[in-house]
Amino acid sequence: MEKTNVMRILEQKKIEYNSYSYADTDAVSGMDVASVLHQDPHEVFKTLVAVSTSKKYYVFVVPVSKELNLKKAAKAVGEKKIEMLKAKELQPLTGYVHGGCSPIGMKKFFHTTIDSSAEMLGTIIFSAGKIGYQVELSLSELRKVIPFQLEDISD
Protein backbone atom coordinates (compact mmCIF):
# COMPACT_ATOMS: atom_id res chain seq x y z
CA MET A 1 0.00 0.00 0.00
CA GLU A 2 1.18 3.50 -0.82
CA LYS A 3 2.33 5.56 2.17
CA THR A 4 0.76 8.99 2.61
CA ASN A 5 2.20 11.95 4.51
CA VAL A 6 -0.28 11.24 7.32
CA MET A 7 1.08 7.69 7.64
CA ARG A 8 4.66 9.01 7.65
CA ILE A 9 3.79 11.53 10.41
CA LEU A 10 2.19 8.78 12.52
CA GLU A 11 5.21 6.51 12.01
CA GLN A 12 7.63 9.34 12.87
CA LYS A 13 5.81 9.78 16.18
CA LYS A 14 5.76 5.98 16.70
CA ILE A 15 1.96 5.91 16.74
CA GLU A 16 0.25 2.65 15.93
CA TYR A 17 -2.48 2.80 13.32
CA ASN A 18 -4.29 0.61 10.86
CA SER A 19 -4.50 1.66 7.24
CA TYR A 20 -7.08 0.92 4.59
CA SER A 21 -7.18 1.49 0.88
CA TYR A 22 -10.21 1.88 -1.33
CA ALA A 23 -8.18 3.33 -4.22
CA ASP A 24 -9.24 0.52 -6.57
CA THR A 25 -12.96 1.18 -6.03
CA ASP A 26 -15.35 3.82 -7.28
CA ALA A 27 -16.29 4.92 -3.74
CA VAL A 28 -16.81 8.67 -3.57
CA SER A 29 -18.96 9.56 -0.57
CA GLY A 30 -18.05 8.78 3.01
CA MET A 31 -20.91 6.29 3.18
CA ASP A 32 -19.50 4.54 0.07
CA VAL A 33 -16.07 4.41 1.70
CA ALA A 34 -17.49 2.86 4.90
CA SER A 35 -19.36 0.32 2.80
CA VAL A 36 -16.40 -0.80 0.65
CA LEU A 37 -14.20 -1.02 3.75
CA HIS A 38 -16.91 -3.04 5.54
CA GLN A 39 -16.87 -0.56 8.43
CA ASP A 40 -19.64 0.94 10.54
CA PRO A 41 -20.41 4.42 9.10
CA HIS A 42 -20.58 5.75 12.69
CA GLU A 43 -16.86 4.88 13.03
CA VAL A 44 -15.69 6.35 9.71
CA PHE A 45 -15.23 10.12 9.94
CA LYS A 46 -14.97 12.92 7.41
CA THR A 47 -12.83 16.02 7.83
CA LEU A 48 -14.52 19.32 7.05
CA VAL A 49 -13.07 22.82 7.01
CA ALA A 50 -15.17 25.87 7.80
CA VAL A 51 -14.56 29.60 7.99
CA SER A 52 -16.11 32.09 10.40
CA THR A 53 -17.34 35.58 9.61
CA SER A 54 -14.19 36.78 11.42
CA LYS A 55 -12.17 34.85 8.77
CA LYS A 56 -10.82 32.22 11.16
CA TYR A 57 -10.59 28.65 9.89
CA TYR A 58 -11.77 25.59 11.79
CA VAL A 59 -11.55 21.84 11.23
CA PHE A 60 -14.48 19.60 12.15
CA VAL A 61 -14.37 15.80 12.14
CA VAL A 62 -17.77 14.07 12.05
CA PRO A 63 -19.07 10.58 11.25
CA VAL A 64 -19.83 10.03 7.56
CA SER A 65 -23.31 8.94 8.64
CA LYS A 66 -24.05 12.43 9.98
CA GLU A 67 -23.97 16.04 8.86
CA LEU A 68 -22.09 18.91 10.47
CA ASN A 69 -24.52 21.18 12.31
CA LEU A 70 -23.15 24.65 11.54
CA LYS A 71 -24.89 26.25 14.54
CA LYS A 72 -23.55 23.67 16.98
CA ALA A 73 -20.10 23.89 15.37
CA ALA A 74 -20.03 27.70 15.59
CA LYS A 75 -21.04 27.55 19.24
CA ALA A 76 -18.36 24.91 19.96
CA VAL A 77 -15.62 27.24 18.68
CA GLY A 78 -17.08 30.44 20.14
CA GLU A 79 -18.17 31.98 16.85
CA LYS A 80 -21.50 33.54 15.93
CA LYS A 81 -21.57 31.98 12.47
CA ILE A 82 -19.46 29.68 10.31
CA GLU A 83 -19.84 28.37 6.80
CA MET A 84 -18.22 25.56 4.88
CA LEU A 85 -15.03 26.48 3.04
CA LYS A 86 -15.45 26.53 -0.73
CA ALA A 87 -13.90 23.43 -2.36
CA LYS A 88 -11.55 25.53 -4.53
CA GLU A 89 -10.11 27.17 -1.38
CA LEU A 90 -9.37 23.86 0.36
CA GLN A 91 -6.11 22.83 -1.33
CA PRO A 92 -4.36 26.23 -1.15
CA LEU A 93 -5.28 26.49 2.54
CA THR A 94 -4.70 22.91 3.77
CA GLY A 95 -2.66 21.16 1.08
CA TYR A 96 -5.44 18.59 0.73
CA VAL A 97 -8.00 18.06 -2.02
CA HIS A 98 -11.72 17.62 -1.42
CA GLY A 99 -12.29 13.96 -0.47
CA GLY A 100 -8.74 13.51 0.81
CA CYS A 101 -8.63 15.99 3.68
CA SER A 102 -7.17 14.79 6.99
CA PRO A 103 -6.98 16.58 10.34
CA ILE A 104 -3.30 15.50 10.44
CA GLY A 105 -0.62 17.17 8.32
CA MET A 106 -2.36 20.28 7.03
CA LYS A 107 -0.09 23.11 5.85
CA LYS A 108 -1.00 24.93 9.07
CA PHE A 109 -2.78 23.68 12.17
CA PHE A 110 -6.35 24.91 12.64
CA HIS A 111 -8.49 24.58 15.77
CA THR A 112 -9.94 21.06 15.49
CA THR A 113 -13.20 19.75 16.92
CA ILE A 114 -14.20 16.09 16.73
CA ASP A 115 -17.81 15.03 17.17
CA SER A 116 -18.37 13.76 20.72
CA SER A 117 -19.76 10.47 19.36
CA ALA A 118 -16.10 9.48 18.84
CA GLU A 119 -15.67 9.23 22.62
CA MET A 120 -17.78 6.07 22.68
CA LEU A 121 -15.56 4.33 20.12
CA GLY A 122 -12.29 2.50 20.62
CA THR A 123 -10.91 3.93 17.38
CA ILE A 124 -12.00 6.17 14.53
CA ILE A 125 -11.22 5.90 10.82
CA PHE A 126 -10.51 9.00 8.76
CA SER A 127 -8.68 10.14 5.64
CA ALA A 128 -4.98 9.43 5.42
CA GLY A 129 -4.60 12.63 3.39
CA LYS A 130 -5.12 11.18 -0.06
CA ILE A 131 -8.24 10.00 -1.83
CA GLY A 132 -8.38 6.21 -1.56
CA TYR A 133 -6.59 5.90 1.78
CA GLN A 134 -7.81 5.87 5.38
CA VAL A 135 -6.15 5.45 8.78
CA GLU A 136 -7.62 4.14 12.01
CA LEU A 137 -6.42 5.08 15.46
CA SER A 138 -7.64 5.82 18.96
CA LEU A 139 -8.39 9.33 20.16
CA SER A 140 -5.60 9.04 22.73
CA GLU A 141 -3.11 8.27 19.95
CA LEU A 142 -4.54 11.05 17.75
CA ARG A 143 -4.08 13.50 20.65
CA LYS A 144 -0.33 12.78 20.49
CA VAL A 145 -0.31 14.28 16.99
CA ILE A 146 -2.85 17.12 17.11
CA PRO A 147 -4.75 18.90 19.87
CA PHE A 148 -8.53 18.75 19.55
CA GLN A 149 -11.73 19.15 21.50
CA LEU A 150 -14.74 16.86 21.60
CA GLU A 151 -18.15 18.49 21.16
CA ASP A 152 -21.62 17.60 19.92
CA ILE A 153 -21.39 19.13 16.44
CA SER A 154 -23.43 16.82 14.21
CA ASP A 155 -27.03 15.89 13.36
Measured CA to CA, the distance from residue 142 to residue 139 in angstroms comes to: 5
Residues 114-153: tens digit of each pLDDT = 999 999 999 999 999 999 999 999 999 999 999 999 999 9
Q: What's the CATH code of the domain at 145?
A: 3.90.960.10
Number of independent structural domains in the chain: 1
Residues 79-123: tens digit of each pLDDT = 999 999 999 999 999 999 999 999 999 999 999 999 999 999 999
Domain containing 25 equals: 5-151
The pTM of the full predicted model, rounded to 2 decimals, is 0.96
Of 17, 76, 13, the C-alpha closest to 50 is 76
